Amino acid sequence: AAGVIQSPRHLIKEKRETATLKCYPIPRHDTVYWYQQGPGQDPQFLISFYEKMQSDKGSIPDRFSAQQFSDYHSELNMSSLELGDSALYFCASSLRQVYGYTFGSGTRLTVV
């Protein structure tokens, strides 16, 4: 079965650089979510999109932005990177959220 695809799997950036993370949801899933998980922390909700429109916003810094495109893939853009942005970034998708999410494998971002 198709899963949620995230790219890249690993990313190393320097402070103040920009990073773009990509997410391809499961076909026909209508909602995409982005989460950030620091070491030893629970996943923190960043932002979600339902049918290509932003549906909810969590603790996403102003330096970050995201969008969902016509083919339903989503991108998380992160600018002016800080050391504290180093984390695992998960994308998840769902069909009618009540059934729970399916997570992608994540992108490990390291800011040096």
Contact positions vs another protein (CB under 8 A) = 31, 33, 41-45, 48, 50, 55-56, 58, 88, 90, 94, 96-106, 108
Give strand pairing partners of 75. Answer: 22, 67
Closest separation between CB of residue 17 and another protein, Å?
23
Of 45 and 79, which has the nearer Cβ to another protein? 45
Q: What does the alpha-carbon distance between residue 67 and residue 76 come to, in Å, rounded to a whole number?
A: 7
Closest separation between CB of residue 101 and another protein, Å?
6
